[in-house]
Amino acid sequence: MDGNGRWASSRGLPRTARHRVGVRTARKIVEAATRAGVGTLTLYAFSADNWSRPTPEVGALMRLLRRSLLIESKRCVENGVRLTIVGRRDRLPASLVVAIQEAEALTSHGRNLHLRVAIDYSARESIMQAAMHAGGEQLTRERFARLLAQVNHDPFLIPDVDLLIRAGGEQRLSDFLLWECAYAEFHFARCMWPEFTEQEFLAALSDFEVRERRFGGVPAQVAS
């Protein structure tokens, strides 16, 4: 969900204002994903590298995340959305951790969409932690994926990512779901995240539907 800062700066708004607008956009896209029949949606809210940002901005974002969880979890229940927070929790404020636990419990019966929000998340760190948990055991891809889920506090073994969408005109992964995106299709939107609309989201889904996915094979093999 990139481009919030640039969007705010271009309008003379403080950087903290960008996060509030970003939350509103996220709400719209979650609702659009539910209507479109998407099974799992993961939003990258705060990366492990984001701790290096100015302390006041980080503090404001932590407070906004907590407030958003309290509000949006009720919307999730109304729309049948199950919410899971993935990433580290030991560096988060205690009040935010409590809000996470309450939101996950409140939405646990949602079946229309599994919404995963990545907070204090790093794909490289997760892979390293999973490898250390494995020790010397012989691994399969499924076993390693389960270890990744474990270190990210994710009770679910999600399927590989089908489509990765990045707003803001940037064309890089930025340490997001590196293992899960092995065969993902990419869609890069030039608009900033606050300008990202349901129409843009649906256009990305439509584009994905006509792409030929081979997973290392040839078209005939995939079709069969």
pLDDT tens per residue across span 161-201: 999 999 988 899 999 999 999 999 999 999 988 899 999 99
Query: What total of structural domains would you count in the chain?
Result: 1
In a domain, 23, yes or no: yes
In a domain, 216, yes or no: no
> Is residue 106 packed enough to be buried (19+ CB in 10 Å), middle (13-18) or exposed (0-12)?
middle
Model confidence at 221: pLDDT above 70: no
Which tens digits make up the pLDDT trace of 19-56? 788 899 999 999 999 999 999 999 999 999 999 999 98
In a domain, 214, yes or no: no
Give the chain's mean pLDDT. Answer: 90
152 assigned to active site? no
How confident is the model at residue 137, as a pLDDT?
83
Instruction: State the catalytic residue, choosing from 4, 49, 50, 112.
Output: 50
What range does the domain containing 139 cover?
4-206
139-160 burial by CB neighbour count: b if 16+ within 10 A, else e? eeeeebbebbbebbebeeebee
In a domain, 213, yes or no: no
Over range 92-99, report the average pLDDT: 97
50 assigned to active site? yes
In a domain, 99, yes or no: yes
In a domain, 219, yes or no: no
In a domain, 222, yes or no: no
Handedness of CA 72, 10, 61, 43 (dihedral sign): positive
Over range 116-142, report the average pLDDT: 92
Model confidence at 94: pLDDT above 70: yes
Domain harbouring 144, CATH code: 3.40.1180.10
